[in-house]
Amino acid sequence: MMILITRIFFILLAEKNFKFVGYEKFRNEFRAGFAFSIEPSRSVTDPVSIFKPRIKVYNNYLEQNFDKFDNLMMFHHDEDYNRSSNYSIKKIEDHLIDRGMFIFMGAIFKKEADETLTEKEYEHVLKTLDRLYEIYKYIEKRDY
């Protein structure tokens, strides 16, 4: 069931300009979670208007359910890749809801580029994605 939900999660996020996994070679970090990628694309010409109401819903949900997610991490960067340090999950501040911002929440692992995840880390990734899928569903069940 966990794998099925995770696959659905990947498919849905890919269609909505949400991002979910990545590797940062300059930091030697693998991340698994989701991010609000407030970047324009062919199909998203005004990303702030699309993501601002979703981030407000995320903030409300997190405020009401913080204890379910309090062990997750966040970071953000702007379009020039000025990146914050990793920090504990929290509500997204208004000044971050801007064109070109990338705001991640989830699990972060220290890994070399050629290092694979351990079985325990894979399990943690899947559980993290399952938990974050709850937030995603809550955000996307609304009409915007």
Every domain of the chain and the residues it spans: 2-140
pTM, rounded to two decimals: 0.84
Q: Is 95 helix (H, G, I), strand (E, B) or coil?
A: helix
Nearest to 144 by CA among 57, 60, 53: 53
pLDDT tens for the chain, residues 1 to 144 = 444 444 444 445 544 555 577 888 889 999 999 899 898 888 889 999 999 999 999 999 999 999 999 999 999 999 999 999 999 999 999 999 999 999 999 999 999 988 988 999 988 988 898 888 889 889 988 888
CB count in 10 Å sphere of residue 86: 13
